[in-house]
Chains A and B, each alone.
Chain A
Amino acid sequence: MNASTDSAAKEAIVSVRDLHVTFTAGKKPVEAVNGVDLQVARGETVALIGESGSGKSVTLRSLLRLHPARHTRIEGRIEVAGANVLSMGSRALADYRGRVASMIFQEPLLALDPVYTVGAQIIESIRRHENISTADARKRALELFERVRIPSPERRLDAYPHEMSGGMRQRAMIALALACRPQVLLADEPTTALDATVQIQILLLLRELQRELGLAIVFVTHDMGAAVEVADRFAVMYAGRIVEEGPTREVIRNPRHPYTLALMQARADGAMEKGARLASIPGAPPDLAHLPMGCAFAERCTFAQPACLQTRPDAVELGGDHRARCLRTDATIQFGRPRMERPAIPA
Chain B
Amino acid sequence: MNTNVSLTLPAPTAKVEAIERSPGFWSGVIAKLMRDPVALGACAVLFALILIAVFAHQLVPSDPYQTSMIKRLKPIGFDGFPLGTDELGRDMLSRLMLGTRLSLFMGITPVLIAFVIGSGIGILAGYAGGLINTLIMRTIDILYAFPSVLLAIALSGALGAGIGNALLSLTIVFIPQIARVAESVTTQVRGRDYVEAARASGARPFTIVRVHVLGNVLGPIFVFATSLIAVSMILASGLSFLGLGVRPPEPEWGLMLNTLRTAIYTQPWVAALPGVMIFITSISFNLLSDSLRSAMDVKS
Within the complex, what minimum Cβ distance (angstroms) separates A224 from chain B? 25
| Partner pick for A66 among B21, B200, B203, B216, CB 8 A cutoff | B200
A229 interface residue, CB < 8 Å from B?
A: no
Q: Verify if A107 is at the interface (C-beta below 8 Å from B).
A: yes
Contact with B along A151-189 (1 / 0, CB 8 A): 010110011101100000000010011011000000000
Q: Does chain A have a CB within 8 A of B20?
A: yes
Cβ-defined partner of A115 (8 Å) among B22, B25, B203:
B25
Task: Tell me the A94-133 residues at the B interface (CB within 8 Å).
Answer: 94-99, 102-103, 105, 107, 110-117, 124-125, 128-129
Question: Do A125 and B202 touch across chains, with their CB atoms under 8 A apart?
Answer: yes
Nearest Cβ distance between residue B116 and chain A, in whole angstroms?
A: 20
Query: Is A64 an interface residue, CB under 8 A from the partner?
Result: yes
Residues of chain B contacted by A90 (CB below 8 angstroms): 204
Q: Is the CB of A339 closer than 8 A to any CB of chain B?
A: no
Provide the B200-224 mask, 1 if CB < 8 A to any CB of A, else 0.
1111100100011001100100000
Given A110-B192, A114-B298, A115-B216: A155 and B21 interface contact (C-beta under 8 Å)? yes
* B215 & A103 in contact (Cβ 8 Å cutoff): no
Residues of B within 8 A of A27 (CB): none
Is the Cβ of A110 less than 8 Å from the Cβ of B193?
A: yes
Say yes or no: B194 contacts A112, CB within 8 Å: yes
Count contacts on B: residues with CB < 8 A to the other chain.
28
- The answer to whether B202 touches A113, judged by C-beta atoms less than 8 angstroms apart, is no
Give the interface SS of chain B, mostly helix, strand, loop or mixed: helix
Contact A128/B17 with A111-B197, A112-B197 known, Cβ cut-off 8 Å: no
What string of 1s and 0s marks CB contacts (under 8 Å) between B1-42 and chain A?
Answer: 000000000000010011011100100000000000000000
Q: Out of B14, B192, B201, B298, name the residue touching A125 (CB < 8 Å).
A: B201
Whether A94 contacts B197 by the Cβ 8 Å rule is: no
Q: Is A28 an interface residue (CB 8 A)?
A: no
Minimal Cβ-Cβ distance residue in B for A109: B193
Docked Cα-Cα span, A70 to B133, in Å, equals: 14
Q: Which residue of A lies closest to B200 (CB)?
A: A103
CB neighbours of B22 from chain A (8 A):
117, 155, 158-160, 163
Q: Which residues from A are CB-within-8-Å of B298?
A: 114-115, 160, 162
A179, B201: Cβ atoms under 8 Å?
Answer: yes
Name the interface residues of B62-82: CB closer than 8 Å to any CB of A.
none
The residue from B21, B202, B203 contacting A96, defined by CB atoms under 8 A apart: B202
Nearest neighbor of A64 in chain B, beta-carbon distance: B200
B14 touches A152 (CB 8 A): yes
Within the complex, what minimum Cβ distance (angstroms) separates B220 from chain A?
11
**B18 and A97: CB pair below 8 A?**
no
Interchain CB contact under 8 A, A103 and B204? no
A115 to B220, CA, bound (A): 12
Within the complex, which residue of B201, B216, B219 is in contact with A97, where a contact is CB–CB below 8 Å? B201
Contact indicator A158/B198 (Cβ below 8 Å): no
Q: Mark A60-101, 1 if CB is under 8 A from B, else 0.
A: 000010100010000000000000000000110011111100
Q: Which of A98, A159, A173 has the largest number of chain B CB atoms within 10 A?
A: A98
Judge whether B249 is part of the interface by a CB distance below 8 angstroms: no
Sample 30 A-B pairs with CB under 8 A, ordered by A number: A66-B199, A70-B130, A94-B204, A95-B202, A96-B202, A97-B202, A98-B201, A99-B202, A102-B201, A105-B193, A105-B200, A107-B193, A110-B194, A112-B194, A113-B194, A113-B211, A113-B216, A115-B298, A117-B22, A124-B203, A125-B203, A128-B203, A128-B207, A154-B17, A155-B18, A155-B22, A160-B22, A160-B25, A179-B201, A180-B202
10 additional A-B pairs beyond A115-B215, A117-B22, A160-B25, beta carbons within 8 Å, are A66-B200, A94-B202, A97-B199, A111-B194, A111-B197, A113-B198, A116-B211, A125-B203, A155-B20, A163-B22
State the A residues within 8 Å of B (CB): 64, 66, 70, 90-91, 94-99, 102-103, 105, 107, 110-117, 124-125, 128-129, 152, 154-155, 158-160, 162-163, 173, 176-177, 179-180
